[in-house]
Structure 1
Amino acid sequence: MGSLRGVGPALAVIVVVAAAAGVADWADAPATLSVHGGFVDLSAYRHGSGLVLDGLPLYKSRDPETNLRFTYPPFAALLLVPLALVPSWLATALWTAVSMAALAGVILVAGRALGRTVSGWQLALLTGGALALEPVWQNLTFGQVNLVLMLAVLIDFTRPDWRWSGVLVGVAAGVKLTPLVFVVLLVLIGRRMAAVRALLAFASTVVIGLALMPGSAKTYWTHNLVKASRIGPPENSHNQSVFGTLTRFLDHAPPRLLWLAVAGPLALAIVVIAAAWWRRGDRVLGISLAAMAMLLASPVSWSHHWVWAVPVGLALWERSRGWAVVWIAVFVARPLAWPPWGEKQEYEWGPLEHIPGNAYVLAALALSTWAALQLIRRAGPFTWRSSFASPGSEVPSLS
């Protein structure tokens, strides 16, 4: 990305405006969650961290404001304790500002990895434009943590010479387990010490939770971990994962073996493709493809988890403007909400309604297929595996 000089003022404006907007939104958040998230996840974070401060069990009680339980590992509640120490309006302002700063950071880091210089006005324009993507604005209005975790993973992967490379991936996995997929990518691209550091960092988060909250940690790792329904109804159209798609097709949750038989090989294949692109020099697309594998494999990937649409859009823009526009249009249009959804209405869908209703899953599969075909087109179907042995080789061209 070249020099970061000139983006400081733009970043400061983004943070201040985001904080002010967070306060205004908090004061005027409507009761309905159909368009506005009402900061319900942020409220659940604060409730969980408040339980930690009070020495109470983390997973038994619901947030009185939202009726939601804390669902993340104990380490996440410990990490988010500062949110419980300030008034709700201030927590909302700070969290919105942090999330917007993380979004801007993602654009800066991805731009640098793509060899682009991002000026201050470009940063403001791209960050503001990203708000049009449904996963981004949903993340902000729900008060979710996904933008922060995405930035952590991107920083870790785009600084391979960093002494502590891998640690941020491990910490991100300690907050949400799904970033463990990136450990597989680290192994496949030959960064085995970074993978070891990631696993050690993740293990440390587990140990910290067990040491400071033994009862809650035992509940999470022996009961909550395998209970996907604790997060919400898996059939909901906003659950854009293989598990959610199968649930909607079958009109009931799929048997675990069926889900694993579909999601496991699919996710592994996509991570292999991701590693090949990384080895050929496209770090942003490689990381983003691994994120697609993560989102597809997770039992529950709510639409606001799909903030990885942002770096995918940036990576595609460097290669094919047409496909980039199509990709962005999917996440702006929010087709998953076109068919009737909620209250198990997904079980009544006809065949055509499953297409928009599973739009993000289909977009990820299309992206992965395109990425595989580009590798084959460049190297040939019997030689593209050689990309695993040549980290500095040329990136496949679309011309």
Structure 2
Amino acid sequence: MSASSRILIGRLGEVWLKGQNRRIFLAKLQSNLRERIKGLTSSAQVQLHHDRFVIQLPEGSPWAEVLAATADTPGLTRVDEVHRVERDLDALKALSVQLMDRFHRPGTTPRFAVRARRSDKRFPMSSSQIALEVATAALEGRQLPVDLKNPELILHVELSRNGAFAWMRSADGVGGLPIGTAVKGLLLLSGGIDSPVAGYLAQNRGCELEAIYFHSPPFISEESREKVESLGRRLALRQGGMTLHVVHFTEIQKAIRAHCDGQHAVLLYRRFMYRIANEIAHRRRCKTLITGENVGQVASQTIENLTLVDRLPDRITMRPLLTFDKRQIMDLARQIGTYDTSILPHDDCCTLFVPKNPTIKGKVSVIEAQEARLDVEGLTAAASEHTEIVSL
């Protein structure tokens, strides 16, 4: 394809629907794209052209990796790897044949279609005529069934004033809003499946994340902490880094075990976690807490028990997974690349000292009576003040 040049085109989603502040969202998205691509290749150019971002990469760039990273950047609905030639039908047809040689596997017969667009209305052919001419050239020597409704292999072409374009490789974007255009949130990050997915979805709504992890050595191994840090790095990659607050939770758990009734242990853990997270969120100017909680999934996540923890923080708790089916969450975890790490067999602190019959429908009076046996303020302050900060 020596006669063509190659670019990535990022298609905008709901960002384009913003009103007077659209410029702020677009500027942030442009900055995020530059930051994300910077780790993969140098000297990339990211420019806004009308309703799309055009990304030019230097020779030798890892196109597939940049395509995937760009599609993973909130704010874009699709990214196309586009090849450009001069504004000439024969040149476009030749380019189309080259793309078919690259993307059609010999011996396979996928259903085929051409999607043509003529943005330059001065061009003396209609879109359907362009599609027919390109398809005829592309299918020469290939016995592929044409299916315009349900194609498996699609050749996109466009004729504009700036040239002729064709592409066959695209990636669906995550949509949403650029990270950093909403509030900063503090994610309660464990080593499980749910919380990384919740953080990912919060990022897709524009939230920049910090994270907090509750660690209980020596009962919980360093491998568990490394697992959490690995999950955190996946989220950090999307926003140019992330701060992880590691809270040593051992003394709190030992106090609960020594002085409180066992069936309330997990709910008491969660209430301490919310107190500490709220304190750190206040210190770090995080406007919301974010969790992977899901109604009814475990005993601590019944509506009654969620209500008991919600009484403590003075800011909203975002729960992106609240009504998801577990299979949906697992599918998302696989899609974003956290599932294999999440299922590694390392415990977290909420699995310590768990009773056979934990409290399902906690009552305020009962839980507060349990907490009256503890130095809640002192334990919370000690844990909050002796937090490790890790840059991911």
TM-score (norm 1): 0.30
TM-score (norm 2): 0.30
| Structure with the greater alpha carbon radius of gyration | 2
Q: Select the structure that is richer in helix.
A: 1
